[in-house]
């Protein structure tokens, strides 16, 4: 089947810094790397590297043709990426020596995705395909609502977190992925536990503490593989892409989570975002301890 991903495409400028900057602080970076990023593009690359058929739906400006080429090189179908009259999205990322980051994004073309691009993509989708979105684009609610009505299985990655954006898609979502901070914020905003949202499967990522799956009639915890983190940027996107690819290959949820945890662990041990995502062979060959 196919994974249809409405997602952002960014140019990532990643700066290695001695510590994350505070308010009013000017800090000199020790390194700069440039590459493909965006929560959407990272998810598409991860799912494609995990051997899924992935169609990315999004937008870039004329300055973003290189990013579309890069997605294509990773095996992502780019036919439904529109070129619009906005600059391509970009992200300024500070990464500290522990691999922690803070990210500033300029949405640009990511919030100018034409409705026609979404419609043209979903016109090709088939019952049983998967549709996914994150919160860096326009049109998420319409995308997931239409996909659901067409008989697709739907997933939402609630990042960057905005409780209103989650609330707008909740009733059309089969799988919700968020981190523990976002889960607590969502519970506070809605006055309900994430396990009581009416969403069949909810995955709460907890960094080095692992993942909790609410679904299948209960809650189940998954210990994270242990690695030395160099750069955690894009780890959540990698996890989400690998989970969706695993489910698409009819893996049980527990197995899809386990594989995705290994992919995310390998990814945080290297610098970079989309270009640091491991392929399926690396993940299958990895021997990581808990």
Binding site for ligand RIB (CB under 6 A): 8, 10, 12, 37-39, 42, 91, 103, 105, 136, 233-234, 237, 273
Which helix (H) or strand (E) covers residue 47, if one does?
A: helix 39-49
DSSP string for 122-141 = HTT--TT-EEEEESSSS-HH
What is the rounded CA–CA span in Å between residue 57 and residue 42?
13
What is the rounded CA–CA span in Å between residue 90 and residue 108?
8
Asked if residue 27 lies in contact with residue 107, where contact means CB atoms within 8 angstroms, the answer is no
Find the shortest distance in angstroms from Cβ 234 to ligand RIB: 4
* Nearer of residues 59 and 105 to ligand RIB, judged by Cβ: 105
* Nearer of residues 87 and 251 to ligand RIB, judged by Cβ: 87
* Nearer of residues 78 and 88 to ligand RIB, judged by Cβ: 88
Find the shortest distance in angstroms from Cβ 119 to ligand RIB: 25
* Nearer of residues 39 and 212 to ligand RIB, judged by Cβ: 39
Residue 50 DSSP label: T
3-state secondary structure 187-238: HHHHCCCHHHCCCCEEEEECHHHCEEEEECCEEEEECCCCCCCCCCCCHHHH
What is the rounded CA–CA span in Å between residue 278 and residue 141?
30
Find the shortest distance in angstroms from Cβ 76 to ligand RIB: 15
* Nearer of residues 37 and 258 to ligand RIB, judged by Cβ: 37
Find the shortest distance in angstroms from Cβ 144 to ligand RIB: 19
151: left (phi over 0), alpha (psi -120 to 50) or beta: left
What is the rounded CA–CA span in Å between residue 226 and residue 130?
30
Find the shortest distance in angstroms from Cβ 136 to ligand RIB: 6
Find the shortest distance in angstroms from Cβ 7 to ligand RIB: 9
Nearest residue to ligand RIB, scored by beta-carbon proximity = 37
* Nearer of residues 42 and 44 to ligand RIB, judged by Cβ: 42
Find the shortest distance in angstroms from Cβ 63 to ligand RIB: 15
* Nearer of residues 152 and 230 to ligand RIB, judged by Cβ: 230
């Amino acid at each position: 089947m196919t994974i249809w991903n409405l997602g952002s495409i960014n140019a990532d400028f990643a700066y290695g810094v001695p510590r994350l900057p505070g308010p009013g602080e000017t800090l000199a970076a020790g390194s700069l790397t440039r590459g493909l990023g965006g929560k959407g593009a990272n998810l598409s690359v991860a799912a494609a590297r995990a051997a899924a058929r992935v169609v990315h739906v999004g937008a870039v400006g004329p300055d973003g043709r290189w990013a579309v080429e890069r997605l294509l090189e990773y095996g992502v179908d780019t036919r439904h990426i529109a070129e619009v009259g906005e600059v391509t999205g970009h992200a300024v990322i500070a990464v500290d020596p522990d691999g922690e980051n803070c990210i500033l994004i300029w949405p640009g073309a990511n919030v100018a995705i034409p409705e026609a691009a979404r419609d043209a993509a979903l016109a090709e989708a088939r019952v049983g395909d998967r549709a996914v979105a994150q919160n860096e684009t326009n049109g998420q609610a319409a995308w997931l609502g239409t996909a659901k009505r067409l008989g697709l299985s739907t997933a939402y990655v609630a990042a960057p977190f905005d409780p209103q954006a989650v609330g707008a898609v909740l009733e059309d979502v089969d799988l919700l992925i968020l981190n523990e901070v976002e889960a607590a914020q969502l519970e506070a905003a809605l006055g309900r536990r994430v396990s009581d949202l009416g969403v069949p499967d909810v995955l709460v990522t907890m960094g080095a503490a692992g993942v909790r799956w609410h679904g299948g009639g209960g809650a189940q915890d998954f210990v994270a593989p242990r690695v030395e983190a160099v750069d955690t940027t894009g780890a959540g996107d990698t996890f989400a892409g690998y989970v969706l690819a695993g489910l698409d290959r009819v893996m049980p949820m527990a197995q899809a989570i386990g594989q995705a945890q290994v992919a995310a662990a390998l990814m945080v041990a290297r610098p970079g975002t989309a270009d640091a995502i491991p392929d399926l062979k690396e993940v299958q060959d990895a021997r990581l301890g808990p």
